[in-house]
């Protein structure tokens, strides 16, 4: 058992449990993720992906089942985990640089030590010129890059990412994907990644987990046996295309099923 292993056993989550209209967001999720593995979750909106990530981070508890990290049950967020949300969580009254070092500051790291690392990350993110700007002066894509720099600055053992690149334009997204893969290969982080972009999931992952529509269950888990390190060129290979097709078909079945349910529900 390694400290970066995530073990999700029979996890369920019911919202509004004691009301006439409970929402079963997750139903019996089993997922074993090994230290250093890169796993993406894809599935229709509302299939409980964000809820599962929040449970793994310890922001909320499961209604049933357990999540263990390195063998210990998760009850609250911890320094071993970093969480990147789709929306940035920057503080508007702090400069970009001071936002990036915030987590380190909370751990008692002095600016003398945290600034050089933060500046390096800002350079990678193409934000060197904006170190002393405030979040309000940056575009959405730039803010999200600063947000990513903040998460990476903490060098967590496990990176939990909820559609982190959804707001970025295509070109920036590809640069960020490459940066994520490079960092992952260098640090052997465990990554749990949610995306709507199927090609992104295939490109990054060792394994793509497809969720069923609400309630979320694991529909299938597809190993991506493409060689590493991967480069953007690999996205044009026939094997890559076949994986994308396979994941896409699996999701499409689910989306159709959920639309059917909604139509029936609407008529009822």
- Residues in contact with ligand ADP by CB under 6 A are 15-16, 23, 25, 43, 45-51, 214
CA–CA separation, 16 and 18 (whole Å):
6
Query: Of 49 and 145, which has the nearer Cβ to ligand ADP?
Result: 49
Q: Which residues contact 13 (CB under 8 A, 6 or more apart)?
A: 24, 25, 26, 48, 51, 52, 55, 60, 62, 63
Residue 112 binding target from Mg ion, ligand ADP, none, CB below 5 to 8 Å by type: none
* The two three-digit tokens of residue 149, written as one number: 């720099």
Residue 183 binding target from Mg ion, ligand ADP, none, CB below 5 to 8 Å by type: none
CA–CA separation, 75 and 55 (whole Å):
9
CA–CA separation, 102 and 88 (whole Å):
14
Task: Give the footprint of Mg ion on this chain (CB under 5 A).
Answer: 50
Query: Of 157 and 207, which has the nearer Cβ to ligand ADP?
Result: 207
Rounded to the nearest whole angstrom, what is the least distance from the CB of residue 167 to Mg ion in the complex? 13
Element (H, E) at 191: strand 190-194
Rounded to the nearest whole angstrom, what is the least distance from the CB of residue 54 to Mg ion in the complex? 9
Rounded to the nearest whole angstrom, what is the least distance from the CB of residue 5 to Mg ion in the complex? 24
CA–CA separation, 76 and 60 (whole Å):
8
Query: Of 124 and 160, which has the nearer Cβ to Mg ion?
Result: 160
Element (H, E) at 117: helix 111-124
Give the strand pairing for 190-194 and 158-162: parallel
Residue 178 binding target from ligand ADP, Mg ion, none, CB below 5 to 8 Å by type: none
* Residue number closest to Mg ion, CB atom: 50
Query: Of 53 and 90, which has the nearer Cβ to Mg ion?
Result: 53
- According to DSSP, residue 93 is labeled T
Q: What are phi and psi of 236, to 5 degrees?
A: -95, 0
Residue 128 binding target from ligand ADP, Mg ion, none, CB below 5 to 8 Å by type: none
Rounded to the nearest whole angstrom, what is the least distance from the CB of residue 207 to ligand ADP in the complex? 18
Query: Of 60 and 249, which has the nearer Cβ to ligand ADP?
Result: 60
Residue 25 binding target from ligand ADP, Mg ion, none, CB below 5 to 8 Å by type: ligand ADP
């Amino acid at each position: 058992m390694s400290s970066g292993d995530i073990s999700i056993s029979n996890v369920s989550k019911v919202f509004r449990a004691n009301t006439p209209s409970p929402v079963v967001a997750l139903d019996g999720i089993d997922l074993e993720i090994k230290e250093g593995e890169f796993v993406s979750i894809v599935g229709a909106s509302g299939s409980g992906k964000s809820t599962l990530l929040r449970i793994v981070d310890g922001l909320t508890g499961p209604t049933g089942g357990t999540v263990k990290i390195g063998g210990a049950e998760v009850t609250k967020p911890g320094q071993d985990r970093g969480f990147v949300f789709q929306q940035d969580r920057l503080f508007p009254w702090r400069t970009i640089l001071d936002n990036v070092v915030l987590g380190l500051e909370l751990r008692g790291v002095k600016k003398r030590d945290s600034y050089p690392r933060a500046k390096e990350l800002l350079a990678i993110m193409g934000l060197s010129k904006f170190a002393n700007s405030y979040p309000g002066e940056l575009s959405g894509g730039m803010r999200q890059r600063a947000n990513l720099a903040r998460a990476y600055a903490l060098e967590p053992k496990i990176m939990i990412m909820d559609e982190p690149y959804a707001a970025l334009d295509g070109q920036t997204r590809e640069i960020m994907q490459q940066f994520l893969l490079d960092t992952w290969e260098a640090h052997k982080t465990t990554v749990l990644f949610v995306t709507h972009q199927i090609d992104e999931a295939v490109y990054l992952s060792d394994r793509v987990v497809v969720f069923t529509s609400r309630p979320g269950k694991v529909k299938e888990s597809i190993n991506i046996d493409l060689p590493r390190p991967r480069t953007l060129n690999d996205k044009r290979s026939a094997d890559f295309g076949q994986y994308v097709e396979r994941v896409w078909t699996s999701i499409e079945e689910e989306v159709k099923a959920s639309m059917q349910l909604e139509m029936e529900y609407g008529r009822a």
